[in-house]
Each structure stands twice: as C-alpha cells, then as structure tokens.
Amino acid sequence: MSTAVAALPASSSAADWTDEERAVIEAAGLVFTHTYGDRRGEKELAPRAVIARFQHTSARTGLDPLARQIYCIGRAGSDGIEWSIQTGIDGFRVVAERSKQYAGQAPAEWLTESGEWVEVFVKQLHGHHPLAARVKVYRHDWDKDKPAVGIATWDEYAQTKRNGDLTSMWAQRGPGQLAKCAEALAMRKAFPQDLSGVYTDDELRPNATEAAEPSEDWEALIAAADSEEALALVGERIAESGQGTDKIRAAYRARAAVLATEANTVDAEIVADTETPAEGSAPADAPHVTPSAGPITQEEYEASAAAEFDAAVAAGEVSGD
C-alpha cells in the first residue's frame, strides 16, 4: 500500500483529524464546493459514511488519492449531493495486476451497423460510430473459455454537448472511449471484491453538457504553483474561465495538499500569520478557490448547476428569465 493511502485519516470523524489529514481529505475530493445561490463558495464535507467508504475502498484497492489514482466526486441533485468513487481505467488495471489472478484480456471488439463484431473499427468502412464495444477479461483461476465479458453500447455511454453534438474527446476517439467503458465493466465483473462500487470517469459522464475548449494548460500552471497564494490565483483563473474538469480539480486538490504540508514546515512566525487550506481558510489577500466547472461547461456538473440555480431562482436571488 502506498504511503499516501496510509495518510488517509483512520477515523471518519473530522474532529479527530490532523491538519495534514484534512488536506488529504480535500485532495481526495471529499469536499463539495457550491457554485450557486446563497451557498455559493461554501464547502461541504462529505458525510461520515461516504468518507468511511472511501477510506475502505482506497485501502482495499491500494490506489493512491494524492496521485489521483482514486478520488471522490460530489454532484448536487434534487435529493442533495450524491457521491461517487471514481478512478481511471489505469487504476482498474493496477488493481487487476496486483490481484495476481489477472490473465490478460482479448482485443477490444466493436459492433458495426451491419451486425458484425470487428477488432479494428474504421469509420470509412463501418459507419459513423460503433453500436457497441466488447471486452473479455481472463483470470488464471477461471476456465479459459469463460472470461468476464463487458459490453458497452454507444447510446448509453457516448457523451454529448448541450446541443447534442459529441464532446471533442468522443468525436475524436469515440471507439476507444467506448472500449474503455466496456473494459471497466469486464474488470468489475472479474474482480468484484476489489472494484465493486468504483467507476471510471468515462462511465459516469453520460448526457454531458457543452464543454469549453481549454484556453490554458491548467494542469501545467497548477504544477508550477510554488505557493498557496500562487495556486489560489490559478484557481481563480480556472473558475473565471469555466473550464474546470474532474481531472483539473483533482490536480488542484493534490497540489493544494502538497503545498499545505510544505507550509507546516516553514518558520513558525510565518505559519502563525497564515492559515492553511487544511484549516478551513487561505491567506486573506489570495483566498483559495477550488476551480469551478461553471454552469454550462462542466460535463458532470450539469445536475449541480441546474439544481442550485433553480434554488436561487426559487429564493428570488436571481431571475429565471
């Protein structure tokens, strides 16, 4: 198990955490930042049950939250904030390899409009997009002719903008994106003890909203920030641009956690004058702002934006026209 996973607090109660553990919790995505209404900018900690589940899942999988191998995402809906534990397909592969039972997988296959499964999907030959993707995953302790099979359909997983067009990633790499969804389904079937309750980014972004093309290399700017103040300024720029994504948010939180830890090692007089983000606030002249997705540019926050905007309209804070 990595040292970062071990750094997760042993307790799910915030009252028991150290400053460093609070920073890890925020870096892991267990803090939701409201973007509309009278709660705009307010940070809400995930319930203890969600934190406990994330702690257990991180320990069970051995994935590192500070390395962004695993993280939690909160989405606001009509019934409150819904929390999901997410990772990338690489995280699934790491877990499978560590199990010692992973025996590889067959090449991905795509279903064409003619009803044929092919191992290479060519748009000019097979149509605009595949109807489905299929991946077979094998285990050493299973019969070779009985793999775990994951099938993902285009209609279920393809991500679109507000106007119905495909997002840039799916427009450019649609077959590959669909294959990753199918692989995740197969991996979860093959390794349910380790991967149950964990989903990849690609699986949890259906019905996406229109996303803006990034105007800056935000991840590079985040990595280059050498102080909490510098990082806060980058966060403000991302929030203003409306180009925050899960990946950018995770990078921001991870960098904030590192800088918060480094801040605790500097001269005591400096520490006394500046609260770290782990303590709940940032320097007065450069408040920390977790990058906001914006109301229409962040795919997975459509539900959050709509719900909180409706609440603001109902409260008479903004016009619904």
pLDDT of residue 314: 58
Q: How far is CA 37 from CA 40, 63, 230, 250, 318, in A?
A: 5, 35, 28, 24, 8
Q: By the 8 A CB rule, do 252 and 235 touch?
A: yes
Phi-psi region of 62 (alpha: psi -120 to 50; beta: other; left: phi over 0): left
Domain boundaries, the chain: 89-200
Using DSSP's 3-state secondary structure scheme, residue 68 falls into: coil
pLDDT of residue 291: 53
Question: pLDDT tens digits for 280-290?
Answer: 444 444 445 55
Regions of the chain short of the pLDDT cut 70 = 1-7, 36-37, 205-215, 240-243, 265-321
Q: How far is CA 166 from CA 124, 173, 207, 233, 253, in A?
A: 18, 10, 10, 32, 29
The two three-digit tokens of residue 48, written as one number: 């203890």
Question: pLDDT tens digits for 30-39?
Answer: 888 877 667 7
Alpha-carbon span 30 to 8, nearest angstrom: 12
- Structure letter (DSSP) for residue 160: B
pLDDT of residue 277: 46
